[in-house]
Chains A and B, each alone.
Chain A
Amino acid sequence: MVSKRFVLKRLLLLVPVLFGVATFVFAILQLAPGDPARVIVGQRASAQQVAQVRTELGLNDPVWVQYGRFLVEAAQFQFGDSYQIAKGTPVRSVLADRLPVTVELALYGQAIGILLGIPLGVLSAVKQDSLTDHATRVGALTGLSVPIYWSGPLLILLFATYLGVFPTSGRISSTTFLPDHWTLFGMELPLTGMVTVDTLLLGDLGAWFSAVHHLFLPAVTIGVYSMALISRMMRSSMLEVVRQDYMRTARAKGQGAKITVMKHGFRNALIPVVTVIGIQFGSLLGGAVLTETVFGIGGIGTMLVDAIGASDYPLVQGAVLTFALLFTLVNLGVDVTYSYLDPRIQQ
């Protein structure tokens, strides 16, 4: 049972994380070269127009006043409108459009990592020093060492260009039309923005297959690193658990090897792996930036890079804080799972 006090304490930790990120982003944007007012009005605008925008944005106020105002706005998740990338569109709308793309990619990547990494790690530990173990360890080391900007194009080259079994880019077939809502008991509800979920909600299996087909290579690209790390962690953890006295006792009482490992060992070996999965999700979001670029998927990562290049400060602030919020919420979920597996952690 997970105590409410534990969850509340972890939720309160959200405050310093978001405050730290907001302060960090404010500092970076203050130190960045270029004048936001000039970015908004354009290079050809007169000095008078620039000065007017500076006054409107409060850029002439003392820096500590600007900092305070920024924190208040950030706490309300108010970042105004995009300057450049989606000129005039509220940042919240832009983020709502792009976030599901990145989240979907990271979730599928993480799913691949967990579903393949955990069994491979267990297998590697149970068959220690066998050919399977060596192959898994070499595979894990390779997966950890290969960067996404290399493995992504390699997968495209092999599976898309030579074998032609997967598409090279995009999220769904260009001939597929997705409406902007789905209907439940006569009610019109908005779509989630995650194509694999939306196509299922719409009951269009052909479109769903197309979405999965398009998502497969990017998800594998991003999931390989996660799989490698999880399988290595699982192997080490399982080997440690297998040597424990209670495992030996269970075997001595006549319990079969497989049952002992799965019933007594697996849950305990899973504890350190679960703690790492949360941290891992952060690097998956970071890795999504590269994967999105390689596979031409317009997620929040690609948008963040574009926004930094175009000095679109409101978008940068919104995207970074959204990433931080997402990361902390995932870690909260991991902590709750962890405390469920090992209730002692709540003390």
Chain B
Amino acid sequence: MPSAGAVDPLAARLRLVGRALLVGTVVGLLAGVVAVSLFSPRTVRTVFALGALALGFGVLGWSGSVMAGRGIETMHRYMDTGSDWTEEKSRRAMARVGGAGAGVMVGSGLVDAVVTL
């Protein structure tokens, strides 16, 4: 049983991605509405694509960090690069980027669905 005050790692991870997803959704909704109102309805596709770009980059960065992070950390250490890059920090940052990207896709996708219907 976890001790009092201990943080559940899964809950912490979900919170990290959830917050980014929420922020991304709001940004996607706003950007989608602005794109549709000020430009043509097709412009919302660009907002969706930008969200997909962030999601792709985030997922790729996250999985790259999990897959090769240990090797990169080792390489930095042995090559005396003086970098403080760590696999954990990279993974967390990429999870945020990916979550925000997915949010933008959801937000702009909703706007696109409303415009299309």
Query: Which of A19, A31, A233, A328 contacts B75 (CB under 8 A)?
Result: A233
B59 touches A16 (CB 8 A): yes
A21 touches B78 (CB 8 A): no
Task: Report how far A278 CA is from B74 CA in the complex, Å.
Answer: 13
Task: Report how far A13 CA is from B68 CA in the complex, Å.
Answer: 11
Interface of A is mostly: helix
Task: Report how far A111 CA is from B67 CA in the complex, Å.
Answer: 22
A331 contacts B by Cβ under 8 Å: yes
Which residues in chain B, 49-72, are within 8 Å of chain A measured between CB atoms?
49-53, 55-64, 66-68, 70-72
Task: Report how far A30 CA is from B54 CA in the complex, Å.
Answer: 13
B52 touches A67 (CB 8 A): yes
Query: Which of B57, B61, B71, B105 contacts A275 (CB under 8 A)?
Result: B71
Task: Report how far A330 CA is from B42 CA in the complex, Å.
Answer: 41
Which residues in chain A, 37-93, are within 8 Å of chain B measured between CB atoms?
62-64, 67
B72 touches A279 (CB 8 A): yes
Which residues in chain A, 1-39, are within 8 Å of chain B measured between CB atoms?
10, 13, 16-17, 19-28, 30-31
**A interface bracket (residues with beta carbon within 8 Å of B):** 20 to 34
Task: Report how far A10 CA is from B62 CA in the complex, Å.
Answer: 14
A236 contacts B by Cβ under 8 Å: yes
Given A27-B53, A64-B112: A278 touches B60 (CB 8 Å cut-off): no
Find chain A residues with CB under 8 A from B79 CB: 232-233, 236
B46 contacts A by Cβ under 8 Å: yes
A276 touches B64 (CB 8 A): no
Residue of A nearest to B72 (CB): A279
B53 touches A28 (CB 8 A): yes
Task: Report how far A28 CA is from B52 CA in the complex, Å.
Answer: 9
Task: Report how far A18 CA is from B85 CA in the complex, Å.
Answer: 24
Query: Which of B52, B61, B66, B67 contacts A27 (CB under 8 A)?
Result: B52
A272 touches B74 (CB 8 A): yes
B45 contacts A by Cβ under 8 Å: yes
A221 contacts B by Cβ under 8 Å: no
B78 touches A236 (CB 8 A): yes
A64 touches B67 (CB 8 A): no
B53 touches A17 (CB 8 A): no
Supplied contacts A28-B53, A30-B46, A331-B68, 14 more A-B pairs, CB within 8 Å: A16-B59, A20-B55, A25-B56, A27-B49, A30-B48, A30-B52, A63-B44, A63-B48, A63-B49, A64-B109, A232-B79, A233-B79, A236-B79, A272-B78
List the interface of chain B (C-beta within 8 A of A). Answer: 44-46, 48-53, 55-64, 66-68, 70-72, 74-75, 78-80, 98, 105, 109, 112-113, 116
Q: Which 8 A-B pairs have the closest CB atoms?
A: A24-B56, A20-B59, A20-B60, A23-B56, A275-B71, A30-B49, A27-B53, A27-B52
List the interface of chain A (C-beta within 8 A of B). Answer: 10, 13, 16-17, 19-28, 30-31, 62-64, 67, 232-233, 236-237, 272, 275-276, 278-279, 328, 331, 334-335
Some 19 contacts from A to B, beta carbons below 8 A apart, are A16-B62, A16-B63, A17-B59, A17-B67, A20-B56, A23-B52, A24-B56, A26-B56, A28-B53, A30-B45, A31-B53, A62-B113, A64-B48, A67-B48, A232-B78, A233-B75, A233-B79, A236-B79, A331-B68
